[in-house]
A and B are shown apart, each in its own frame.
Chain A
């Protein structure tokens, strides 16, 4: 038996003790052990072994293997279990899963949260877990009463016999845990759902309103020190030499140590650590990226865009058709690097002992972080335990393919050999890289004499996110990183001749998935350029799209719903205009209509956004609405303000004064309409982001006649006074 299993078992036993003793439906250690030992084999346990515990106090604890970063998984995933389990929703508690293969993502072979996949990948597994547990509780009751199982039913935390007698789940739990698990289970028909599909309050709201929710930054373990790290001001730089005398004179500073990416100042508290860091004298070797600048990269990208790249999609003969088209339209678009800027700056706490290591952090990628930390500190992965806290925002940043913030903390922990919390200041977080890539796009399209698009050519230039990561082999096929062209290669519009190609220059700026990944860029470009085609054809941008979406009923469905609800044809106040955009991502279809005005200084104000979403079957409609509001604000911040730029190799932004984000005074009224659907579930955390930038920019064009081809929108380009 391996160490991890012992740890897991202790955890579960502790869990039941915390819950007041009693069972523990689903402890099923033999099953857990066999699962844990076949680590590489993806398993979908039919037993409720790792996901549900029921205490003798009737409390149902649901172990959630996904990280809660605001998207609502600590409510939506328990709802899926509870629906089939027929437990009392008010008795449901949630715990974060430890790292164990049983909690792996069903498609990734590792534990992680991202790609708007949680509900999509867990629906089936968690429904089966809930059903199996319910059947075992019923079997336990039937045996207790010596009656036929068919004469018993489960309802609201009770098993009830036709005679009217009943037992609570807590009373049955211990016996139920010894019942054989059903070999197959019959899931409910969605028409029988009583919880799933109904607006349901988040389980984590109370602790997020009284200061009790524990984020990584709140961890405090005995004898813990606090560290900050001075990192190279240029990506890829190194420490040439440093003097630490003055830093060590700062009261509270305990140690100054050179570690892999820089110099760590370790102190009794945060203020001493940062004060000590300010007193450091470091000479840096800036390395090969010392000359990097955004303006230089832009020139490089623009010239690359004029050459042929790796082909992501080709249909028909776009070049010939373009040349012969009645009307030709060409444009170049660009978007900058973006920081995730989660409200909670990155941090990681590590307690390293000779033969064990515990990590507390808000992470989206537990298995990768655990393995990376184990390698640094020289332990086996099984000796490293990860405690997932609440995440103060994730948006992709906390699923780092190199586990950067955990690795850095592991280096510090290894050097100081004491429990240590490694904190990033806001400046560290913003300048620390792993940005949404900067992109440059060159497009051309042809219209026939009736204004129908007949050819579409789109060349994309930007860094691959997958290149150089452990996922490179999986993510890059034939020179194409799927994340670079998603949303561009598979445009839904009926255009017979299409070419989409890609250049992936290697640049020394670390890049990463940023909420909606490739779509945050491609939706802006595609939905703006299709608007340009509508204008060139002299057609209404909504009707133009609608006609081209005949073969894509779900795209068209949300487009029509958003337009109808927004009153697309209805007059607006003087100085207001509407823009529309529709985009599919992560298995969901979203259309948004933005109503904007522009003041004489050129500032864009978004008054209202009407959002239509078709994400298939819905777990919690209130979460869908919340995620649409959230995605719209996140995307709007990028459209109006977001830009990370470099000069002389250094990032020029460092805090919310130089990297502005949307504040409440700029919050549009957001109205969300959900399409009733029995299609398979789509994602919801990310798809709300992509359509907002083009919807806003298309509205700006409708109002001003000025086409925004570069984000963020610059007031000086729209100024009239």
Chain B
């Protein structure tokens, strides 16, 4: 039995300890917003926050996440400036990668509240989008940063 805290809720799951956190989140806790894209930390679709840092959940054995604070896309408030910026810029197309994109973007703004394009490119390069929404991702991150600088919800 492994106990996990996901989006402030405690879950106890009976899984093989080496199961990647991604599959426990998706299949056992039934939070399917976090996506599988590559399984080798190349695409970022599975990005979650562990103790506030962006991590690729496909690479974390579930036993290593025990006792840590895990946040998934479902744990991000609807009024978070990143989400509202994503909607304002109509960023997603197929939408599959955007849970991961948003989780990375939030982690970026936590580290660098006023990122430059270069900061964004550097931090977000681990998140692939095959629909090519990158230009809008950059714009939405700047938009959210501006809102947060003015004291918008963090």
Interface of A toward B, CB cutoff 8 Å? 68-72, 201-202, 204-215, 217-218, 220, 226, 251-252, 269-272, 341-345, 390-395, 425-426, 622, 626, 629-634, 637, 655-657, 661-665, 667, 669-670
Contact = CB atoms under 8 A, between A and B. Distances in A.
A220 B29 CA distance: 12
Contact of A670 (B42, B87, B135): B135
Given A629-B132, A665-B125, A669-B135, 17 more contacts: A202-B90, A211-B32, A211-B74, A269-B28, A271-B16, A271-B19, A343-B97, A344-B37, A390-B95, A393-B96, A425-B39, A626-B90, A629-B133, A630-B93, A630-B131, A656-B40, A664-B129
Q: Which interface class (under 10, 10 to 19, 20 to 34, 35 or more) fits B?
A: 35 or more
B133 A630 contact: yes
Given A205-B90, A218-B32, A392-B35, A664 B27 contact: no
A208 B23 contact: no
A211 B102 CA distance: 10
B121 to A, nearest CB: 4
Interface in B115-142: 120-122, 124-138
Given A252-B16, A426-B37, A630-B131, A213 B42 contact: no
Given A72-B93, A210-B83, A343 B27 contact: no
Given A629-B132, A655-B40, A657-B42, A664 B97 contact: no
9 contacts: A211-B32, A218-B32, A425-B39, A426-B37, A634-B132, A664-B120, A664-B125, A664-B129, A667-B135
A207 B37 CA distance: 19
A661 B26 CA distance: 26
Contacts of A68: 94
B57 interface: no
A396 B74 CA distance: 30
Contacts of B128: 343, 656, 661, 663
Interface of B is mostly: loop
Given A392-B95, A626-B93, A426 B39 contact: yes
Nearest to B102: A209
Contacts of B113: none
B9 interface: no
Contact of B131 (A209, A217, A393, A667): A393
B30 interface: yes
A568 B129 CA distance: 30
Contact of B98 (A208, A271, A426): A208
Given A205-B90, A343-B43, A343-B129, A220 B30 contact: yes
Contacts of A270: 23, 27, 36
B32 A220 contact: yes
Given A251-B16, A664-B138, A269 B38 contact: no
A634 B128 CA distance: 12
Nearest to B40: A655
A69 B131 CA distance: 9
A212 B97 CA distance: 13
B125 A344 contact: no
Contacts of A70: 92-95, 131
A629 B130 CA distance: 11
A426 B38 contact: yes
A271 B22 CA distance: 10
Contacts of B133: 626, 629-630
Contacts of B99: 211
Nearest to A218: B32
Most buried by B among A70, A205, A664: A664
A391 B96 CA distance: 8
A251 B98 CA distance: 33
B82 to A, nearest CB: 8
Given A270-B27, A392-B96, A664-B121, A211 B33 contact: yes
B147 interface: no
B5 to A, nearest CB: 18
A217 B86 CA distance: 23
B16 A209 contact: no
Contact of A206 (B35, B87, B122): B87
Contacts of B120: 664
Contact of B87 (A205, A392, A657): A205
A146 B120 CA distance: 63
B90 A655 contact: no
B76 interface: yes
B27 A71 contact: no
Most buried by B among A202, A208, A209, A213: A209
A656 B131 contact: no
Given A208-B92, A343-B94, A664 B134 contact: yes
Given A211-B34, A665-B122, A390 B94 contact: yes
Nearest to B94: A70
Contacts of B27: 220, 226, 269-270
A215 B94 CA distance: 10
Nearest to B137: A664
Contacts of B6: none
B150 interface: no
Contacts of A392: 35, 94-96
Contacts of A272: 16
Given A205-B92, A269-B23, A269-B27, A630 B78 contact: no
A665 B42 contact: no
Contact of A213 (B30, B31, B74, B95): B95
B45 interface: yes
4 closest A-B pairs by beta carbon, nearest first, are A211-B33, A633-B132, A208-B95, A392-B96
B109 interface: no
B20 A622 contact: no
B145 interface: no
B73 interface: yes
A220 B27 CA distance: 8
A271 B20 contact: yes
A344 B96 contact: yes
